[in-house]
Amino acid sequence: AQSVSQHNHHVILSEAASLELGCNYSYGGTVNLFWYVQYPGQHLQLLLKYFSGDPLVKGIKGFEAEFIKSKFSFNLRKPSVQWSDTAEYFCAVMPGGGADGLTFGKGTHLIIQP
Amino acid sequence: GAGVSQSPSNKVTEKGKDVELRCDPISGHTALYWYRQSLGQGLEFLIYFQGNSAPDKSGLPSDRFSAERTGGSVSTLTIQRTQQEDSAVYLCASTRKDTIYFGEGSWLTVV
């Protein structure tokens, strides 16, 4: 079975700082990778996803993530964060084909200080 | 089109009572998931339905939890004899082309 590890449970940054949230997964085959965001009091929203092709994927709100197959990683980045980026961020992995469902990491709570 | 719909959005129940949570997936989506999100915790997989296949129940935390999906569409998650540790947000999701769409969740509080 697959698993997902998010290394940072809590991250505090100042506005305009650069962001990188780590995500590593364990699974031997082809995977689809996702980052979801949950703003305070709201439901989960898809930030970006990787299925195949260019390993650098761009999502909404200026976020991007890079799939590095050799490192089993899918780190989320943003060059300059805003106060409105304060939220919980979840990395998730789904084996290719989706037969085994989606497995989430435990999430990273990001706080942006104005 | 409508998204994944969950009801009730909020439920407060007394310890020991049974609760039912409902999920209406997006029309045409064959796969449906239930997850649980407890305060300060990540997302915990509960159960997965795919078409007519037997559901993957490996995430259900105890035999007090059960779920069914009727006619390949609507799903009901039932928690019997609720305990305070069952308090959480219960999220339903359905999939299309490997992308999962989440409902807004049912907030369950057991008092």
Mean pLDDT of A15-26: 96
Percent of all residues in chain B with a pLDDT value above 90, rounded to a whole number: 60
Interface test with B, best of A34, A94, A102, A104 (most B CBs within 10 A): A102
Looking at residue B85, its pLDDT comes to 94
Looking at residue A98, its pLDDT comes to 59
Q: What distances in angstroms separate CA B64 from CA B23, B77, B82, one per listed residue? A: 19, 11, 8
- Specify which residues B106 forms β-bridges with: B90
With contacts defined as CB-CB under 8 Å, which chain A residues touch B55?
A: none
**Chain A residue with Cα closest to B99:** A49
Mean pLDDT of A11-24: 96
The answer to whether B99 and B107 are in contact (CB under 8 A) is no
Q: Retrieve residue A80's tokens.
A: 């300059």
Is residue B88 predicted with pLDDT exceeding 90? yes
Pairing status of strand B19-24 against strand B5-7: antiparallel
Percent of all residues in chain B with a pLDDT value above 70, rounded to a whole number: 95
Burial class (CB in 10 A: 0-12, 13-18, 19+), A72: middle
The answer to whether A112 and A16 are in contact (CB under 8 A) is no
Is residue B110 predicted with pLDDT exceeding 70? yes
Looking at residue A50, its pLDDT comes to 92
Is residue A3 predicted with pLDDT exceeding 60? yes
Looking at residue B80, its pLDDT comes to 98
Q: Retrieve residue B83's tokens.
A: 């305990």
Chain B, residues 59-78, CB within 8 A of chain A, namely none
Is residue B1 predicted with pLDDT exceeding 60? no
Of the ranges A5-9, B1-5, B96-100, the best mean pLDDT one: A5-9
Looking at residue A88, its pLDDT comes to 93
Give the residue, B10 or B56, on which the prediction is more confident.
B10
With contacts defined as CB-CB under 8 Å, which chain A residues touch B48?
A: 101
Give the residue, B29 or B109, on which the prediction is more confident.
B109
Give residue A37's pLDDT band: very low, low, confident or very high (50, 70, 90): very high
Mean pLDDT of A2-23: 93
Give the residue, A113 or A29, on which the prediction is more confident.
A113
Convert A11-31 into a string of H (helix), E (strand) and C (coil). Answer: EEEECCCCEEECCEEECCCCE
CA A67 to chain centre: 11
Q: What is the pLDDT of residues B40-86, one digit of tens each?
A: 667 888 998 988 888 888 889 999 999 999 887 899 999 999 999 99
